[in-house]
Amino acid sequence: MKKILVIHGPNLNLLGEREPGVYGTDTYDSINNEIIEHAINRQFHCEVFQSNHEGEIIDTLHLARKSFDGVVINAGAYTHYSYAIRDAIAAIKIPVIEVHISNINARDEFRSRSVIAPVCVGSICGFGKDSYILAVDALYYRWENEEAAEA
């Protein structure tokens, strides 16, 4: 069974309360429950981690390389300026998919640039909480295609 880790960055623990016009009214817990349920339906083991601290996110990415087959990350504001998280993603050699609830390209100019996107296998944004679901599916299809190519 493939194992995936979902990492939520700063302020995402406040989903459901924080700027509902941008991030929706679904709570952090309800979104995580949906992600985990969807992962189980894809026959994945899924764990969730959230931190408001850059170093904890980096440490978790480092640990993920030994315990997980893939990562889905919403790095929040760190997306736009954390070269340290970018370097951690580049170093771990497992597929990482960047997600955002809002369309970062349609928001403030500073939000339209992702420094982590170039080291991720893909980026999904603008689909609300379903961005996470789409990322789980992207990992599923990536691995399914790899297995088919090996056969």
Sequence-ordered alpha helix ranges (H) in the chain: 20-23, 28-41, 54-67, 83-92, 130-150
Least Cα distance to 9 among 107, 109, 113, 85 occurs for 85
Instruction: Decide if 23 is catalytic.
Output: yes
3-state secondary structure of 13: helix
- Cα 15 versus chain centre, distance: 15
Catalytic hit among 8, 38, 78, 100: 100
The token pair at 131 is 């961005």
Cα–Cα distance between 55 and 123 in angstroms, integer?
22
Q: 73, 9 in Cβ contact below 8 A?
A: yes
Catalytic hit among 23, 78, 132, 140: 23
The catalytic residue positions are 23, 100
